[in-house]
Amino acid sequence: MNRRELLQRSAAIGAVAALASSTGTVLGADESAPSGPSSPLTPPGAASIPVAFVLAKDAVVIDFAGPWEVFQDVSILGRKENAFSLYTVAETMDPITASGGMRIVPNYSVDTAPAPKIIVIPGQQAPSKRLLDWIRNANKATDLTVSVCTGVFVLAATGLLAGRSVTTHHNAYREFAMDNADIAVKRGARFVEDGKFASSGGLSSGIDLALHIVERYFGREVAKQTAFQMEYQGQGWLDPGSNRTYAQVHTSPGMATCPICTMDVDPKTSATSVYKSEHYYFCMPPHKARFDAAPEKWLALV
What does the mean pLDDT of the chain come to? 91
Q: What is the pLDDT of residues 222-277, one digit of tens each?
A: 999 999 999 999 999 999 999 999 999 988 999 999 999 999 999 999 999 999 99
By three-state DSSP, how is residue 232 classified? coil
* Res 84 pLDDT > 70: yes
pTM of the full structure: 0.91
Residue 176 Cα to chain centre, angstroms: 11
Q: How confident is the model at residue 38 (pLDDT cuts 50, 70, 90)?
A: confident
CA distance 148 to 226: 20
User: Structural domain boundaries of the chain?
Assistant: 3-246, 249-300
* Res 278 pLDDT > 90: yes
Beta bridge partners of 97: 103
Give the pLDDT confidence score for residue 14 in this predicted structure.
59
The Cα diameter of the chain in Å comes to: 69
Q: Who has greater pLDDT, 17 or 132?
A: 132
103 burial level (CB within 10 Å; 0-12, 13-18, 19+): exposed
* Res 49 pLDDT > 50: yes
Where does 3-246 sit in CATH, by number? 3.40.50.880
Region of poorest pLDDT, from 23-27, 47-51, 229-233: 23-27
By three-state DSSP, how is residue 61 classified? helix
Rounded to 5 degrees, what are φ and ψ at 108? -145, 155
Q: Is 191 left (phi over 0), alpha (psi -120 to 50) or beta?
A: beta
* Res 140 pLDDT > 70: yes
CA distance 19 to 80: 47
Mean pLDDT for the stretch of residues 135-149: 98
Give the pLDDT confidence score for residue 251 in this predicted structure.
87
Q: What is the pLDDT of residues 110-137, one digit of tens each?
A: 999 999 999 999 999 999 999 999 999 9
